[in-house]
Amino acid sequence: MKTNNIEVSSRDNFGSRFGVLVAMAGSAIGLGNLWRFPYLMGENGGAAFIIIYLVFVFVLCLPIMFSEFILGRRSQSNVFGAFRVLAPGSKWGIIGIFGVLASICILSFYSVVGGWSIEYLVKAVLFDFTRAGSEANHATMFSDFVSSPVKPLLYHLAFMALTAFVVLAGIKKGIEKYTKMMMPMLFVMVIIIAIRSLTLEGAGAGVSYMFKPDFSKVTSGTFLAALGQAFFSLSLGCGTIMTYGSYVSKDENIMKCSAYTSIADTLFAIIAGCAIMPAVFAFGISPGEGPGLVFITLPRIFASLPLGGVIAILFFVTLLLAALTSSISLLEVFVSYLIEEFKMKRGGAVAIAFGIILLLGCFCSLSQGAMSGVKLFGMNIFDLFDYVSSNVLMPIGGLLIVIFVGWRLGKTAAFDELTNHGTLKIPQWLLETVFFIIRFVAPVTIAVIMIF
What are the structural domain ranges in the chain?
2-451
Nearest to 286, CA basis, from 267, 301, 266:
301
Contacts of 277 (CB under 8 A, 6+ apart): 38, 41, 42, 46, 197, 206, 207, 209, 210, 287
Angle at 230 between CA 12 and CA 235, to 5 degrees: 15
Q: Which backbone phi and psi does 379 adopt, to 5 degrees? A: -125, 150
Q: pTM of this prediction? A: 0.92
pLDDT at residue 30, as a whole number = 85
Q: What are phi and psi of 3, to 5 degrees?
A: -125, 110
DSSP 1: -
pLDDT of residue 8: 42
Profile the chain (452 residues) by mean pLDDT over runs of 10 residues.
43 89 92 78 86 92 95 96 95 95 96 95 90 68 91 97 97 94 93 91 88 87 85 87 95 95 93 88 75 78 83 92 94 97 97 98 95 92 91 88 96 96 95 97 86 74
Whether the Cβ atoms of residue 298 and residue 279 lie closer than 8 Å to each other: yes
Closest Cα partner for 6 from 426, 339, 271, 257?
A: 339
Give the Å distances, CA to CA, from 427 to 31, 331, 341, 371, 419.
Answer: 36, 37, 38, 56, 10
Fold for 2-451, please state it: Hydantoin permease (1.10.4160)
Q: Which residues contact 365 (CB under 8 A, 6 or more apart)?
A: 112, 115, 146, 152, 153, 156, 382
Q: What is the pLDDT of residue 290?
A: 61
Q: How many helices (H) and strands (E) does the chain have?
A: 23, 2
